[in-house]
Amino acid sequence: MAEHQKAELFELTNGIIRLKLTNYGATITSLFLPDKQGNLADVVLGFDSLEPYLQGASPYFGCIVGRVANRIKDGKFTLDGVNYSLPINNPPNSLHGGHKGFDKVVWEVVEHINGENPSITFKYHSRDGEEGFPSFSVYLLLLFSRYHVFLWNDVSHDGEKGLLFLSLLLLFSSYRTFLCNDILIVPEPGYPGDVTVTATYTLTSGTTMRLDMEAVPKTKPTPVNLAQHTYWNLAGHSSGKVLEHSVQIWASRITPVDQNSIPTGEIMPVEGTVFDFNSENKIGSLIHEVPGLGYDHNYVLDCGEEKSGLKHAAKVKDPLSSRVLNLWTNAPGMQFYTANYVDGVFGKGGTIYGKHSGLCLETQGFPNAINQPNFPSIVVQPGEKYKHTMLFEFSVE
């Protein structure tokens, strides 16, 4: 079981690709690829050891985020008539699962296979009520229940204070009766239902890596939206900004956002805007015109070219090394993020990562989909299986 396991490092290699991972957050920590001269470089941002991950220094480097990736507006949603609340860890919203999402837990290693197509499978059991916490009124209730005898001893000798205390005690007793009879509902329940999640990384060939994520709710319907959050820099993790990388995204629309990065509900065409990557374009060419600090937007993926049942989501190329990444997926959306909030993070080999030092291609369900009925649903019923696949194809050109 994962609760009896500790965070460890693992490696998959097929002689060309060398992948390092940890079961803490099912995280990619390093990925070495050859350039056009055959020189290897680590092309993902991260840390040399496990300690920074365990200490919370990582801005989601390389991990799997969930139970719900991206933002949930105000940390609230309603499902089957029940109101749910989550921690606000990215004010005023809940981000990437909450305070302790899937990226901050130790996953069980259920299989580790070496050979021509090496793979590793991680598993995590997400419990009913995860990321839940009692409301402020419950804290007061528990505090008063525990210490009312001591308070009475302090005020019983004073008639006026004693009368006030007895009034509070009567109010407390009535409030507790409401609670016990389920008339007043005050707990903040977190995510509903038990869910078993697995993530399998496989080097399917000398040029490809596949990630299969699955989740099965056990007891209640629940939102599920997993995302892989690697920060890519195809020139090498220590090479600086990715603004010279060219990107193509197979998406003709995005879900525009408000001032709090929550989708407005609109589906907006990208043609002729700063979000248009229908043909290859340098990241840095228009990023200064993007509202805010850079790209952090969900692209609505088109149903076009396919490979192994997956649609083409994005292509990234570094002009110096000629390394190329093509991404394929079955997810409906992809968050294109340019490391806007990375600032002075001490990474591998003493490298200091700054703004735009990497890019993320987070295939996903749409942000805040649980609160947007016109977005594809992310609710999974008990016994159903959530499936999310990503195929990373590496080359030089």
- By annotation, the residues acting in catalysis are 229, 362
Rounded CA separation 265/298 (Å): 12
Tell whether residue 388 is among the known ligand binding residues: no
Tell whether residue 99 is among the known ligand binding residues: no
How many other C-beta atoms can be found within 10 angstroms of the C-beta atom of residue 121? 19
Say how far residue 203 (Cα) sits from the centre of its chain: 23
Fill in the DSSP letter of residue 17.
Answer: -
Tell whether residue 70 is among the known ligand binding residues: yes
Rounded CA separation 245/58 (Å): 23
Residue 246 is encoded by which pair of tokens? 């060219």
Q: Quickly list DSSP for 119-165.
A: EEEEEEEEPTTTT-B--HHHHHHHHHHHHHHHHHHHHTTSHHHHHHH
Residue 160 is encoded by which pair of tokens? 């006026």
Tell whether residue 231 is among the known ligand binding residues: yes
What is the radius of gyration, based on Cα positions, of the chain? Answer: 24
203 Cβ contact partners less than 8 Å away, ≥ 6 residues apart? 12, 13, 14, 17, 19, 117, 118, 119, 209
Element (H, E) at 172: helix 159-180
Residue 287 is encoded by which pair of tokens? 């990023």
Residue 98 is encoded by which pair of tokens? 């909450």
Tell whether residue 343 is among the known ligand binding residues: no
195 Cβ contact partners less than 8 Å away, ≥ 6 residues apart? 67, 125, 126, 215, 216, 217, 218, 222, 224
Rounded CA separation 238/355 (Å): 13
Please name the residue that has the structure tokens 């007793």.
173
Tell whether residue 4 is among the known ligand binding residues: no
Could you tell me which residues are annotated as the binding site for beta-D-galactose?
Answer: 70-71, 229-231, 296
Task: Show binding-site residues.
Answer: 70-71, 229-231, 296
